[in-house]
Amino acid sequence: MTQNETCACGGRIDVHAHFLPECYAQALTKAGMTHLDGGMPVPQWSEAEALAVMDRQGIATAMISLSSPSTHFLPEEERTGLCREVNEEGAALLRNHPDRFGFFASLPLPDVAASLKEIDYAFETLGADGIILETNINGEYLGSPRFAPVFDELNRREATLFLHPTSPACFEAVALGRPAPLLEFPLDTTRAIVDLLYSRTLQARPHIKVIVPHGGAALPSLIARIAIFANVPFIEPRPLSEEEVFETLKSLYYDVALSAHPVPFEGLRRIAPVTQILFGSDWPFTPEFGVERNISMLDTMPGLSESDARTIARENAERIFPRLMRKT
């Protein structure tokens, strides 16, 4: 019996899935990039294989996006063109399979003006479901005042923003020769969220629906420490209070890619209600056996009711993406 047959949720909505369209794969090859982020090999991807994996794993819809390093391996002046090509490819998948795919559009940051134009094109012309941003842009974090116009526009549109980790600028010094997804990805996710909190970027723009990957990374473990520093007067800007930190993090969404283990999942449940937790696979950067293992652990999670499991698998994502709501 397949995962698809055993899933009583009507088919999972995967908010953390990646694609490597031909234009992107060719750009990586041209740049000589056979490995990414400190040793991770570039995976193979195709539309047919994506659909096959989704069928085997009971995934009705995958919200695709570029993984790290996005287009940041290119000179800044070349990013706009590749972002447009990638976004066009994502839109084509959406047109061809509107029930099976959605997509988060990539932006050519740090070029803010070009990024604002791409946001408009992505939503108004391509029908994007949201935007993806890497946790830092050439070492500059998202709470930087330079990026404020991007967040203002996303807030105005009440857009969905999917955050994805990338390597920190100091990666070579701290990675100890190991690939970034081992430690530096979750740590950079945590660093980016702290920056957005302490710069008050999130608090000032409450209409953005933010999805944090990998079960919130280190946030469940560090939330008390992050909150208590809101009381330190020489840190400016900063959250208004410890309570504001907890309330802001409670309002974000969190996917469970690579995180459906009882220990981190219990930590996540303590900072966010089940209504804020979403399914994510991280395929193809997580191979199918890893996706299947993550699903199996989620399906047998201690203390997780069948109702909660359905909520995580599909219903929460339907609220974010109402076009995917099943007709009854």
Report residue 327's pLDDT band, with 50, 70 and 90 as the boundaries. Answer: low
* Residue tagged 């972002």 (tokens): 83
pLDDT tens readout for residues 143-175: 999 999 999 999 999 999 999 999 999 998 998
Round the average pLDDT of the chain to a whole number and report it: 95
What pTM was estimated for this model as a whole?
0.95
Provide the pLDDT for residue 172. Answer: 87
Using the predicted structure, report yes or no on whether residue 5 has a pLDDT greater than 70.
no
Burial of 232 (0-12, 13-18, 19+ CB in 10 A): exposed
- Is residue 206 packed enough to be buried (19+ CB in 10 Å), middle (13-18) or exposed (0-12)? exposed
208 pLDDT exceeds 70?
yes
Collapse the DSSP code of 34 into the 3-class scheme (helix H, G, I; strand E, B; otherwise coil) and give the result.
coil
CA distance 79 to 107: 8
Residues 83/315, Cβ–Cβ less than 8 Å:
no
Amino acid at 151: F
Q: Which helix (H) or strand (E) holds 294?
A: helix 288-299
Asked whether the beta carbons of 69 and 167 are under 8 A apart, the reply is yes
